[in-house]
Structure 1
């Protein structure tokens, strides 16, 4: 029966004699939760982890798009769509989009994630031509002012190719290369990194009635399989990021289980991206009917990700998140 090893991540304090560094980053661990389907979880020592698994968990992650992965990085969200759940239409004009991107850079973002198709629950598919028209000119315009790494948030090969030609540095695919079969080849030929996200169903239907046998292990298995698919397409593992897809075909309880189990995904040997900013479950639990009322809760979730060793935090509120991370690391003397 397959065994899953989830490091019990710790930040700060005094590591024990047998402690291991988590993914070459700021967290450490000396115990893991051993998970098996149909069996009770057990806490075991690092000495009980198979060497190949321990090596994947502890190996320092190579830099991604020029960003070091030994400390958390803030990914600022730039939606150039008319119907984003959080800020639909606010940044759909090129000039205002560029200014917002530059303001996020000033606020501490390490990378800007640009999307031209809303993937909120119930969103309809956007044509390739419309998505390119929304994203590529903005990327090109940002490049006139800044060398900040840029991520293109798309499921489509033609959109990614246009974005890469305009200056994008990373492909962020909510469908983990499963929507457009050409996207894996485009990414592999570019030599750029890719983020593979888990989603159950497409945006139009994903929140209708999501079901899992074991959401944490099911998502892990899916991402493990998609990493293998990406490697087979010619994308080096060092260029692969994984994202458990908070809010994409998940109930509130599914989201909480994934957040509690975030450190499991270090066993894949890839950097982890967490994108929970302003999502509905934050308002459900903490109040905030409007997405803009969920800033504090979003920062709280981001800090939880930092304590689990997550390398990339995809957020709307760059200044607030970066400020909180800086204080968290200073308090815990983590550099």
Structure 2
């Protein structure tokens, strides 16, 4: 993490949620914003039959709440944190769809929400499209994510996503009922 900061990184994003020994201290020492992403298991086994004992959005919210508390207790200031529900990480297509449907519940953590759904396999599975034909699905997911509280999007096709988000904001912002 220190090497990333020294190389000019603008944010840290640890898929293991700073759970390794010394990770929180290392992140805190950089002064950079830190994204806490939900993932069960390890990258090598996370998709081996992911299972949740309660609704996925509740499990994700509780996990992130606990990680935020652990980071704060170790000296990482809350204002440097953002959260990522981890679409595609230890989740089935059904988990991902439900998580997006109820993602607004994560806003109770009062932290910026980052999502990355561009070109994800969930789009391919729902629409039966190869990766190079997933733009339309990704645009729909990005607009829905913004409506449900996302404030940062990780995307591949920046221009079309900017247009989709700007249209979503035009609909969502107050005062658009000037007929």
Pairing of 1:1-335 with structure 2 (within 5 A) = 160-178=1-19, 180-214=20-54, 215-288=56-129, 290-333=130-173
**What is the CA distance between 1:314 and its match in structure 2?**
1.0
Is the strand fraction higher in 1 or 2?
1
- Per-residue deviation, residues 158-184 of structure 1 (Å, max 9, x unmatched): xx2111011112101111111x32221
- Per-residue deviation, residues 132-151 of structure 1 (Å, max 9, x unmatched): xxxxxxxxxxxxxxxxxxxx
| Mapped contact 1:191–1:235 kept (Cα < 8 A) | no
| Mapped contact 2:61–2:106 kept (Cα < 8 A) | yes
Q: When the two structures are superposed, what TM-score results if normalisation uses the length of structure 2? A: 0.91
Q: How many residues align?
A: 174
Secondary structure at the counterpart of residue 311 of structure 1: strand
- Per-residue deviation, residues 254-309 of structure 1 (Å, max 9, x unmatched): 11111011111111111111111111111111121x21211110111000011112
Q: When the two structures are superposed, what TM-score results if normalisation uses the length of structure 1? A: 0.50
**What is the CA distance between 1:333 and its match in structure 2?**
4.5
CA distance in 2, matches of 1:262, 1:332: 16
CA distance in 1, matches of 2:51, 2:170: 40
CA distance in 2, matches of 1:332, 1:316: 24
Q: Compute the RMSD of aligned alpha carbons.
A: 1.5
Unaligned stretches of 5+ residues in structure 1: 1-159
Rg: which structure is higher?
A: 1
- Per-residue deviation, residues 178-219 of structure 1 (Å, max 9, x unmatched): 1x3222111111221100001011121111111101111111
Specify whether residues 285 and 273 from structure 1 end up closer, same or farther in structure 2 by C-alpha distance, changes over 3 A only.
Answer: same
Secondary structure at the counterpart of residue 97 of structure 2: helix
| Mapped contact 2:147–2:172 kept (Cα < 8 A) | no
Secondary structure at the counterpart of residue 196 of structure 1: strand
Secondary structure at the counterpart of residue 163 of structure 1: helix
CA distance in 1, matches of 2:116, 2:32: 20
Unaligned stretches of 5+ residues in structure 2: none
CA distance in 2, matches of 1:334, 1:181: 46
Specify whether residues 284 and 167 from structure 1 end up closer, same or farther in structure 2 by C-alpha distance, changes over 3 A only.
Answer: same
